[in-house]
Structure 1
Amino acid sequence: MDTSSAAAPAVRVSVVDDVGLDGSYTWAGARAAGLSRRQVERDGRRLGHGLYLSCAAEPSLRELCRAWAQVLPTGAVFGGSTAAVLLGAPLAQPSRLTVVVPSGVVVPARPQLVRHERCMADEDVTEVDGVRVTSGAQTFLDLAASLPPAELVAVGDALYRRDRLDPDRLAERLARAGRVRGVVRARACAPLLCREAMSRPESLVRFWLVDSDLPDPEPQVAVVDRWDRVVVHGDLGYRDWKIALEYEGRQHAEPEQFRRDVDRYSLTALDGWLVLRFADHHLTGPRTVVERTRRALVSRGWRPPPN
């Protein structure tokens, strides 16, 4: 069959720029701006009743939140895992947006939203790229009710690293938290947070070691040569026993990174350092990480303290 004259697929062209609308809009707003029913149906991806995202807009979490903010009541902010991702935490994008509203404010039930009611102080709210979200400290406290401790520490580390959280702000929020759900876990994990952790895997490994009976590892431990020059930094390590722990993510398979790794491991070995390398399949639980680190420490002379 000759298909040379077959019709090409229709290309959806955004019309919002021509009428001054943003990438998301309400049905009423689009009609008031002069768009016809057919134009709205062709351009907009329906998010909810009367709410649309233009085909020209990227359906990112930020854009989805900006869209929904148009139909939420005054005082509503995004919280929970939605806020955490926008603040830079290493969590998967949630399938539903978490919305926090002041006590007594009514939000119609929407299957796309998870609604929480709470009174918040001004310092419990911040803004990310034009989207109002719960602050880093409030978000950390909220997630403490659902995340296991290791993952909560990974979130806290990321918020520290991105200057969305610091010890003073967190201590102040936890001091006035009362007996809210998750506060015990939040207070237990707060002292373990570390700005130097560069990734979620590093945070998980560090938490498992700190939570064990082994010595606490040093983040970003400096490996020096015989002239006392820093040649590399290990993700984690034990300076006294010359043991470094490294997490090997996918980026280590890149040719340039692989070459740098070869040099790094050679330099550490030349000065007597033992390097333990871990990958994604070691992150299912603490057992392998803790036991291999224990064996390495014992091989270098460490002994557990007597009971």
Structure 2
Amino acid sequence: MPRTAKVPRELAFLPFLGSRAIADGLLTRRMLEGQAWHRLLPDVYVHADGYQPDDHRMWCDAVALTLPPCAAICGRSAAYLWGVNLLDRQSPVAVVLPGNYRPRGHQRVAASYQRLTGDDITRFANLPVTTPARTAFDLGRLLPRVEAVVAVDALLARRLVRVDTLAGYLAAHPPCPGIRQLRQVLALAEPHSGSPMETRLRLVLIDGGLPTPVAQHEVHDHRGRFVGRVDLAYPRWRIAIEYEGDHHRERTQFRRDVARLNDLRACGWLVLRFTADDVLRHPDRIIALVRQAIAERRRAAQATDSPS
């Protein structure tokens, strides 16, 4: 008989507690020790066909089975469940636990200890998870500054939380580590950011002493016809700054980009395009090129305004 015929339907897809499966008469201890099952955590198993070592959702499902009351999935893992992927490959599941609870450590679990109110925890697909506001609050104050802005921007862009809501949460919250950084993050937050790399590019410009650019700016021609939306812009000088991800290498997208670039140039816009290598490894080059472009546009505007 095929192995799949022996798999109880209740255990075919999601992680489960081995002790509960045994108590319910679905499996025996000897069966759990067979090759049909994969042990994820102490007393937590998944069917071998459903085991995906890099599937963070599977690990969230597994870890949730071990959490005590008043605990929740938090941080980057909570953001992932809310649809914002900030994870590295094989990232552990971030959880917040009551201070009096000390479980056995595991490499796939990153535990922190603090008290959450009932309003800080909700359920997502039957998993205990910090609310979007609490998730943004934690990520904005505890991650390194750039990553904190990236995380908050991403949650804002998906309309999971609003800046004013997060500011109100911050104002009502007792003092705790990272509050000063969170205030700075909120001042930099951009609800219209198109991607994490666009946020990083925007911060390169701001940290380089350049004016804050407008995110997702819509360009129209002299007749009011929509020409395109650019990642970042200085409308005053008609300078567009674009982040070029790998998807721009696809043939269809490349053709669209060329047509849009030509339309923007026809409207008098200067378009500067940067890659991940520029943003992550050569920020000084970006700052120099943008500063030069602004200076050239200023000189051109002054020459136009000067009497002949």
Report the TM range for the smaller structure's normalisation.
Answer: 0.7 to 0.9
Determine helix, strand or coil for the equivalent of 2:254.
helix
Q: For 1:82 and 1:115, how far apart are their aligned partners in 2? A: 12
Contact 1:209/1:215 (8 A) holds in 2: yes
- Whether the aligned pair in 1 keeps the contact of 2:75 and 2:94 (CA below 8 Å) is yes
In the TM superposition, 1:1-16 aligns within 5 A as 13=4, 15-16=6-7
Partner of 2:14: 23
Structure 2 Cα separation of the partners of residues 17 and 137 of structure 1: 39
Structure 1 unaligned regions, length at least 5: 1-10
Tell me, what secondary structure is at the counterpart of 1:181? coil
Counterpart AA for 2:39: R
Given the superposition, is the C-alpha separation of residues 210 and 72 from structure 1 closer, same or farther in structure 2, using an over 3 Å criterion?
A: same
Post-superposition Cα deviations, 1:127-177, rounded to whole Å, max 9, x if no partner, equal 333322122232233234542322211111110112221123211221133
Where is the helix percentage greater, Structure 1 or Structure 2? 2
Residues 99, 113 of structure 2: 8 Å contact kept: yes
Distance change in 2, residues 1:184/1:15 (3 Å): farther
Which residue does 1:8 correspond to in 2?
none
Instruction: Check the 8 A contact 1:140/1:186 in 2, yes or no.
Output: no
Distance 1:172 1:126 in 2: 19
**Paired residue total:** 293
Deviation for aligned residue 1:26: 1.7
Tell me the distance in 2 between the aligned counterparts of 1:301 and 1:19: 68
1:34 aligns with 2:52: no
One-letter amino acid of the counterpart of residue 74, structure 1: P
What amino acid does structure 2 have at the position aligned with 1:67?
A
Deviation larger for 139-148 or 192-201: 139-148
Tell me if 1:80 matches 2:84.
Answer: no
SS at match of 2:204: helix
Which stretch has the larger CA shift, 151-160 or 207-216?
A: 207-216
Aligned to 1:5: none
Identity over aligned residues, as a percent?
A: 32
State the secondary structure of the residue aligned to 2:129. strand
Report deviation, 1:240.
1.0
- Indicate how the Cα distance of structure 1 residues 137 and 288 shifts in structure 2: closer, same or farther if over 3 A, else same: farther
The 5-angstrom pairing of residues 233-252 of structure 1 reads 233-252=229-248
Between the aligned partners of 2:293 and 2:93, the Cα distance in structure 1 is 45
Question: 1: distance between equivalents of 2:14 and 2:167?
Answer: 39
User: Structure 1 residues 101-110 or 128-137, which shifts more?
Assistant: 101-110
SS in 1 for 2:257: helix
Match of 2:91 in 1: 95
Residue 258 and residue 105 in structure 1: after superposition, are their counterparts in 2 closer, same or farther (change >3 A)?
same
**Distance in 2 between residues matched to 1:235 and 1:20, nearest whole Å:** 46
Following superposition, the deviation at residue 91 of structure 1 comes to 1.5
Q: State how far apart, in whole Å, the 1-side matches of 2:208 and 2:166 are.
A: 25
* Aligned equivalent of 2:198: 202
Give the match for residue 292 of structure 2: 295
Letter paired with 1:46: R
Matched residue, 1:6: none
Deviation at 1:273, TM superposition (A): 0.7
Distance (Å, rounded) in 2 between the aligned partners of 1:19 and 1:232: 50
Matched to 2:56, the amino acid is: L
Pairwise CA distance, 1:222: 1.6
Q: Among residues 68, 72, 77, which one is paired with 2:63 in the alignment?
A: 68
Mark the CA change 1:85 to 1:19 in structure 2 (over 3 Å): closer, same or farther.
closer
State the distance in 2 between where 1:223 and 1:139 align: 34
